[in-house]
Structure 1
Amino acid sequence: MKTTSSTAVYSLSYRESKTYVAATLFVIGNILLPQLCHLMPQGGLIWLPIYFFTLVAAYKYGLTAGLLTAIVSPIVNSSLFGMPAASMLPIILTKSVLLALAAAFIASKVRRVALWAVALAVLAYQGIGMMAEWGMTGSLTAALQDIRLGWPGMLVQIFGGFAIIKLIKK
C-alpha cells in the first residue's frame, strides 16, 4: 500500500456551497455507518463510527467542512436514534471537534495525503480527547475505553480514512 499520495487537500470556506454539499454527504455517512455498526453488540464502542467521516471531511476539505460534520453528526444521530445517548453528547462532540481540528491542521501543514499524517490526526484527537473525557467524567476507565475497546475503529479510521481520502478526487 502506497502510504503517501499527491491527492489534493482543500480548505473550503463557509461561503462556498461546496462546503455544505460535502458536509451534508459526510453527515449522511456519519448517520448510516453508525447504524450499520450498531447491528453488532458494542459495535459503536468497538468501531467508533461517528468519527469516520469527520476525519475524511476535515482532512480532505478543511476545518469548515470538518467542523460542520463533527457537530451536526452526533446531534442528528442522538436526536433520531438515541445514539449516542444524550448524556454522552458532550464527550462525543468534544472528541469530534478535536478530530476535525487535528485532521484539518495536519492536512494543511502536510499538504498531501499521507498515512502517517492520518494516523497522527487519529492519535492526536484520541490522546487529547482521552484527557478531556477523564476531566469531564473523573473516570480514567471511561477515558481509556476508546483505546481498550475502540482500537479496531481507530485502525479503520487510519487505514480506511486514508483510502477514502485518496479515492475522493474533488
Structure 2
Amino acid sequence: METSAKLYSLSFGNVKTYLFALLFVAGNIALPQLCHLVPMGGQTLLPIYFFTLIAAYKFGFRVGLLTALLSPVINHLLFGMPAAAALPVLLVKSGLLAGTAALAARYTQKVSLIALLGAILVYQVIGTAFEWAWCSNFFLAVQDFRIGVPGMLIQWFGGYVVLKAISKL
C-alpha cells in the first residue's frame, strides 16, 4: 500500500529543522515513559525509535538525525534510561534508522509499507551486527529480533498510519 505524500528534506540552516526535531524528541521522551509502565515495555515495544522513523521519513535525514541523537541522550539525562552502557548502540541504531527512513522516503517519494519495512529491517540488521561487534554477545545483540518484534511491527504499521495521516502537511 502506498500513499502520495509531501515529503521534505530540511536543511540545518532552516529553523523548521530544529522545531520539528524538538517536537519529535518530545514524542521520543513521552512514548518511552508510557511504555516503561509495562513490564519489559522498552525492550519489547522499542519506543525510542518510533518518532525518529516519522521524523526522518517525513522531514528528511537532518530532522531524523537530530531526533535520533537527542532522544536517547535526553532520556538518559532525565530518567537514566537508556543506561549509559546502552547509549552507543542506541545512538548507532537510531542514526541508522534516520538514514534508512530518509533514504526510503527519498527513493519512493510516497508513504509505502514496503519502504517502511525495508528501512526498519535494514537499521535492525546493521544495528544488530554493530551491537554484536560492540558487546561480543550474539544473544544480547539479537534481542530486538527475539523480543522486540512487537515494537518493530508498531514502527511499521503505526509509522505508516501516522505518516499517512500527516501525508498532506
If the length of structure 2 is used for normalisation, what is the TM-score?
Answer: 0.98
Distance 1:10 1:160 in 2: 20
Report how many residues are paired: 168
Moved over 4 A (4+): none
Residue identity opposite 1:108 in structure 2: R
**Is the 1:8–1:113 contact (alpha carbons within 8 Å) kept by the matching residues of 2?**
no
Contact 2:5 2:109 in 1 (8 A): no
Q: Does 1:82 align with 2:80?
A: yes
User: Could you tell me which residue of structure 1 aligns to residue 110 of structure 2?
Assistant: 112
Where structure 1 has 5 or more consecutive residues not aligned to the other structure, the ranges are none
Partner of 1:58: helix, strand, or coil?
A: helix
Deviation of 1:71 (Å)? 0.2
Q: Tell me how far 1:83 sits from its aligned partner.
A: 0.5
Q: Assess if the C-alpha contact under 8 Å between 2:28 and 2:48 holds in 1.
A: yes
In structure 1, C-alpha distance between the alignment counterparts of 2:52 and 2:34, rounded to whole Å = 17
Q: 1-side partners of 2:165 and 2:69: how far apart?
A: 24
Identical aligned pairs, as a percentage?
54
Q: Distance in 2 between matches of 1:104 and 1:142?
A: 28
Write out aligned runs for 1:135-150 (5 A): 135-150=133-148
Moved more, 153-162 or 104-113: 104-113
For the aligned residue pairs, the C-alpha RMSD in angstroms reads 0.6
- When normalised by structure 1's length, the TM-score is 0.97
Q: Deviations over 1:2-44 (max 9, x none)?
A: x210112111111111111111110000000000000011100
Q: Distance in 1 between matches of 2:64 and 2:50?
A: 11
> SS where residue 10 of structure 2 aligns?
coil
Counterpart of 2:122, as a letter, is: A
> Which sections of structure 2, spanning at least 5 residues, go unmatched?
none
